[in-house]
Amino acid sequence: MAGIYEIIAKKRDGGVLTPQEISFFVKGVTDGSILDYQVSALLMAIFLRGLHKGEMVELTEAMLRSGETIDLSGIEGPKIDKHSTGGVGDKVSFIVAPWAAACGVKVPMLSGRSLGHTGGTLDKLESLPGTRVFLSSEEFKRTLSDAGLVICGQTDNLVPADRRLYALRDATATVNSLPLIVSSIMSKKLALGTDGIVLDVKTGSGAFLPELERSRALCEALVEVGHSSGRPTLGLITQMDQPLGSSVGNALEMVESVEALRGNFAQDLYEVCQAIAAAILVAGKRVSSFDQAKPLLDEALGSGRALERFRRMVELQGGNPRALDDLSLFPRSGESCVVKARQSGYIAAVDAFSVGMATIDLGAGRVRKEDGVDPGAGILLRRKVGEYVEAGEGWAELFASSRGRLEQAETRMVQSLRISPEPVKLSPRVLETVDSLGVRSWEKI
């Protein structure tokens, strides 16, 4: 069989790699026998030439085989993983996982930390006093079995090839390659032994891939690889042009999530959470259509059972459940300021990317992996797109640990706002679904 030199040359010239060549490459990435500059060269060749569907599936499965997998077969009931490609104010996991669990579908989630303008589920969960986000595999299974959901970080033994590949992609401008993104995400999803996967692929300025065509292509490829690897996968494409809900920042988003589980949602957050929770029930075969899911979801929320599932998870992960009754127990940074509108009119845009960057200025996000985050920093949005503001009215409130951090963030917030003299038509938050039958507009579902 060809060595790494020939494999790099083949992909450089647009060739199609065989399963054996892909396995050889991933094995060499994992055991260190292929050197950084050779791995990087092949990553760049893949970035420029792409991968065919079959190569993408082989790469995903070879990466999956590079480490251990988590067997959930001993846990009763349907188990569905939910994954988001990340966004600004994206607290959907904390709401939909207990919501679906209260309807009989178990939701195990291995999540990540914030990086760049997007927030991280683990940072948010840790802002809940006492909560542990790294669990042994026994604790993971016990929490899932008992609470019906578990949200924690992944161990070093899961898909080790991805860690080395991702670090090299980060250093060689090859992160934004569709086949490399797909194999990275799906290898980690497949390593968790669920019955299906629901994907929330974000689109718009605050998304990983802002353009709808690219978000759709990513969603289609993720769904295709899931199905080809024997794991039913359902994707939703949702808007991330303005922050989701009314808060951005770790503890602030946890507070909003608890409010949502009490039934108090911002409209856009409700729309997205209801669709994703319904998709989890469809994927878990609790219902056969999105419409059938709605009465089940209404009952689970209205009866308080969704909040109870979340409380149980918090207890089992060492968090203080009293914080769910007394929201003042969540941290809040000491310095604050109000951002005022400079003219009257209807809010036409609050740019999600700029708000995400303002959150970093405030200390709630991180630029480098090594940075820490301030759990109490962030942004409350008093007004959202479509609402009217008077000149001089405060439309957002910023929180940070020092006044210096507020200034740069305030400038970005002012720049993120667009005001229109005319009323603004609100666009749907859920755009499309993608499954094995293809792409469908959400409005026609």
Q: How far is the CB of 185 from ligand URA (least distance, A)?
A: 5
Alpha-carbon distance of 227 to 190, in angstroms, equals 11
Instruction: Let me know if 184 is a catalytic residue.
Output: yes
Instruction: Let me know if 83 is a catalytic residue.
Output: yes
- Catalytic option among 83, 117, 286, 405: 83
Instruction: Let me know if 162 is a catalytic residue.
Output: yes
* Cβ contacts of 226 within 8 Å, gap of 6 or more: 186, 189, 190, 197, 232, 233
Q: How far is the CB of 366 from ligand URA (least distance, A)?
A: 16
- Locate tokens 């060689």: which residue? 172
Q: How far is the CB of 180 from ligand URA (least distance, A)?
A: 6
SS percent in the chain: helix, strand, coil, step 5: 45, 15, 35
The structure tokens listed for 395 are 């439309």
Which stretches of 303-351 are DSSP H helices?
A: 305-316
* Cβ contacts of 172 within 8 Å, gap of 6 or more: 40, 43, 44
- Catalytic option among 10, 91, 113, 188: 188
Alpha-carbon distance of 389 to 363, in angstroms, equals 28
Q: Cα–Cα distances in Å, from 144 out to 84, 135, 152, 297, 323?
A: 19, 11, 11, 20, 21
In the complex with ligand URA, the residue whose CB is nearer, 112 or 318, is: 112
Q: What backbone phi and psi angles, to 5 degrees, belong to 438?
A: 120, -160
- Catalytic option among 162, 200, 361, 374: 162
Q: How far is the CB of 187 from ligand URA (least distance, A)?
A: 9
Alpha-carbon distance of 79 to 157, in angstroms, equals 22
Within 50-101, strands assigned E span: 80-84
Contact footprint for ligand URA (CB under 6 A): 180-181, 184-185
Q: How far is the CB of 125 from ligand URA (least distance, A)?
A: 18
In the complex with ligand URA, the residue whose CB is nearer, 72 or 180, is: 180
In the complex with ligand URA, the residue whose CB is nearer, 12 or 163, is: 163
In the complex with ligand URA, the residue whose CB is nearer, 120 or 331, is: 120
- Catalytic option among 10, 11, 141, 169: 169
Q: How far is the CB of 152 from ligand URA (least distance, A)?
A: 16
In the complex with ligand URA, the residue whose CB is nearer, 158 or 307, is: 158
In the complex with ligand URA, the residue whose CB is nearer, 43 or 434, is: 43
345-350 and 417-420 beta bridge pairing: antiparallel
Instruction: Let me know if 117 is a catalytic residue.
Output: no
Instruction: Let me know if 188 is a catalytic residue.
Output: yes
Cβ atoms < 10 Å from Cβ of 259 = 18
Active site residues: 83, 162, 169, 184, 188
